[in-house]
Structure 1
Amino acid sequence: MQPDEIEAYFTRSDDTYLFARWGRPIAPIVFGVDDATLSVVKGAVEAVVRLAGHEMAEADPELGANLMFFFFRDWDELPQVPDLDRLIPDLGPLVARLKAADANQYRSFRFDDAGAIQASFVFLRMDQSLSDIPAETLALNQMVQTILLWSDQAFLDHSPLANLPESGGVILKPEIGDLIRVSYDPILPVVAQDASHALRIYARMQAAPQT
C-alpha cells in the first residue's frame, strides 16, 4: 500500500484529512439479536481489537458500554429506545434522513477531549440486502469500519473483506489488516489532521513484519 492510498482512507469528502483511533478499552454490547448472532458479533469485535493490539473491557466507566450495535427492522424503532436520544444528538431528524435515503446502516462516533474515539454506535436496519449477508461477514465488516475513523468514502467502492472461494467464507484483506495494526502503533498519534500522518503510517508498515 502506497502513501497516497493510505491518505485516501482518511481523506474525507470535503478533502480534509482526519484520523482517529480508540483512546480507551472497548466495551461492546449488542441489541436485537439471538444468542448465536451475539456470539458472532462479539467474536468479530474481539478478533479486530486483538489485531489492532488494543484492549477490551467489561464496562466503560462513563457509559457502561461504549460500542453499541443495534439490529432492527425499521428506523422508526430507534426513537422508542429509552435514552437513545441522549446518546445520539438530533435523533429524530437523523432517523428522518436515514428513512428518506432508504439507508440500511449508519455509524456514529463520539470523541473525547483529545479527539480520540470515545464511543461508537452502529445501527443496522436488517432489510433484505443485509439479511442475505452471513452474520460473520456482516459483523466483521462493521467492526473493521468501527475500529478506526475512516474517511466517509473509504469503502464505498470496495470492501475491506475478501472472499474465500474454497470455503465460501471471508477474511480481512491483508493490507487492511496491516493498516489497522500499524495505526495502533503506540509511536503514532491517536489523532491526526495532517496528511503527513499517512507517510508515518507508510513508514511503519514498511518497517513492521507483514501479516
Structure 2
Amino acid sequence: MTPENIERLFTGRDGSYRFARWGRPIAPIAFGVEEQTLGVVKGALEALVGMAGHELTDMDPELGSNLMFFFFRDWDELLDVPDLGRLIPGLEPLVDRLKAADASQYRAFRFDDHGAIQAAFVFLRMTGPLAEMPAETLALTQAVQVLLVWGDAAFSESSPLAILPDSGATVLRPDIANVIVAAYDPIMPSVAQDKSHALRLFARVHAAQSGGD
C-alpha cells in the first residue's frame, strides 16, 4: 500500500479527496432479513469495529439506530417504508434513478457538525449476484464500505476481501485492514479533505507494520 494507493481510496470521480470516519458509537439494525442473517451482519460489524478500535452500541441517544441496513427485492419497496422519506430526502427520485440504473446497492451517509459520520443507510436489492453471495461475504463487504467514507471507485476494480487459499475462507485484505486501523487512530482527524491526509495514513500504516509508534 503506497501513499498513491491510499489517496485513490478516498478520491471521488471529480478528483476531490474526501475522508470521514464515524464520530460516535455505531448502533446497527437490519430490516428485511431473518434473525440468523442479522447475526451475521452484526458479527461482521463487531469484528471490523473492534479491529478499528471503535465502538458498537445498542442505542444511539439521538437517533436510536444510526446504521440501518435494508434488504429487499425491488427498489419500489422502499417507498412503502414508513418515515423513510424523512431520513432520505428526495427518496422518490432517488428510487427512480436507482431503478433506471438497475442498481443493486446504495449507501447514504449523514454527517455531524464537524463532518464525521453521524448515520448511514445501506440499501441492498437482493437479486442476481448479490442474492447468490454467501451471507458472510456480503456482510463483511458491506461492513467495510460503511465504516469509512470511501472514494467512488475505491473497490471498483478489486474487492476489499480476499480468499485464503488453504481454507477458502473469505477475509478482509490485510492492506485494507491496515488503512482502516490507521484511519481510526486517535491522533488522526475524523474528517479530511486534503490529499496530505493520505500521507499521514501511510505513515501510520508503515509505523504499525514496522512495529513503531
TM-score class normalised by the smaller sequence: over 0.9
> TM-score scaled by structure 1?
0.97
Q: What's 2:190 paired with?
A: 190
Q: Distance in 1 between matches of 2:197 and 2:128?
A: 39
2:3 match: 3
Residue 107 of structure 1 corresponds to: 107
Matched, 1:69 2:79: no
| Equivalent residue, structure 2, for 1:98 | 98
Structure 1 position 124 matched with structure 2 position 142 = no
Give how far 1:145 is off.
0.4
- Cα drift, residue 169 of structure 1: 2.4
Asked if 1:204 is matched to 2:204, the reply is: yes
Q: Given that residues 6 and 202 in structure 1 are in contact (C-alpha distance below 8 angstroms), is that contact kept between their aligned partners in structure 2?
A: yes
1:131, distance to aligned residue in structure 2 (A): 1.1
Q: Percent identity?
A: 65
Shift of 1:167: 3.0
| Residues 184-207 of structure 1: per-residue CA shift (max 9 Å, x gap) | 001010000000001111111111
Matches within 5 A, 1:1-211: 1-209=1-209
Q: Which 10-residue stretch deviates more, 23-32 or 165-174?
A: 165-174
With over 3 angstroms needed to count, the CA separation of the structure-2 counterparts of 1:80 and 1:210, relative to structure 1, is: farther
Aligned pairs, number:
211
Match of 1:182, as an amino acid? A
Q: Secondary structure at the match of 2:197?
A: helix
Tell me the distance in 1 between the aligned counterparts of 2:34 and 2:209. 39
Distance apart, 1:209 and its partner CA? 4.1
CA distance in 1, matches of 2:46, 2:9: 23
Q: Deviations over 1:118-166 (max 9, x none)?
A: 0000000000211110000000000100000000110111100001233
Q: Name the amino acid aligned to 1:194.
A: D
1:35-62 residue CA offsets vs partner (Å, 9 max, x unmatched): 1111101101111111110011111111
Instruction: Give the distance between the partners of 1:204 and 1:164, measured in 2 at CA.
Output: 26
Q: Which one-letter code corresponds to 2:207 in the other structure?
A: A
Question: Which runs of 5 or more residues in structure 1 are unaligned?
Answer: none
